[in-house]
Amino acid sequence: MAIIAPSLLASNFLNLEAECKMLNESQADWFHLDVMDGRFVPNISFGPMLIEFFRKATTKVCDVHLMIEEPEKYAEAFKKAGADNLTIHIEACRNLHRNIQQIKELGMKAGVAVNPHTPVESLKDILADIDIVCLMSVNPGFGGQSFIPYTLTKIKELRKMIDERSLNVKIEIDGGVTLANAKSILDAGADVLVAGNTVFKAADPIATIAQLKAI
């Protein structure tokens, strides 16, 4: 069964308490929290301070997706804020292996995200050291974009790389996930579906989460 990770980026920030309550009452597994610095991506969202509030609002997994330069400078702050999973971008790290070790030493699950232009082969040498690969199925920076179809090929390639070595790495798909394409994404071999607009702009978000979960 897929792990469903609604992205709070698409939630109503004037009503965060109600949004968290809704997710807590739903079948959502993870809170996907998108941190953007205006340098790695052309948008700015929020930082550890808000993660601390989300941490207090839920016992579900806080899945923090850092779209920032120099993530090593902030790993400790995100741990203190309550992150369970910390995902950093391969394109933002000069010393990725060291940064992964830092995240694990801090006691968090380590994720590596790759942009649409980055081949999954570039993960080969660190795949055994990480818990999650976040395949970006849109260019990071904004919610509400369309799913890039080539991602399905990348999912299949990555699934093969993981299974051939019997590794315990989750494949997370982030960007443009809808009720219409979720099945093909899971059939290709994904484990985790991030969904922002599909969940929060739905007439009935709880039912939409249940529908994603039932696929």
Active-site annotation, residues: 34, 174
Longest dimension (CA), the chain: 46
Question: In the bound complex, what is the minimum distance in angstroms from residue 105's beta carbon to ligand DX5?
Answer: 25
Distance of CA 42 to the CA centre of its chain: 18
CB of 7 to Zn ion, least distance (A): 6
Instruction: Count CA within 13 A, CB hemisphere, residue 205.
Output: 24
Among all residues, whose Cβ is closest to ligand DX5? 196
Query: Which positions touch ligand DX5 (CB under 6 A)?
Result: 7, 9-10, 32, 34, 65, 138, 140-145, 174-177, 194-198
Could you say which of Zn ion, ligand DX5, none residue 143 binds, taking C-beta under 5 to 8 angstroms by partner kind?
Answer: ligand DX5
The minimum distance between CB 174 and Zn ion, in angstroms, equals 4
Q: Residue 176 binds which one of Zn ion, ligand DX5, none, with CB within 5 to 8 A depending on kind?
A: ligand DX5
In the chain, the N- to C-terminal Cα span, in Å, equals: 8
Distances (CA, A) of 16 to 11, 25, 54, 163, 212: 7, 14, 9, 39, 22
Binding positions for Zn ion, rule: CB under 5 A: 34, 65, 174
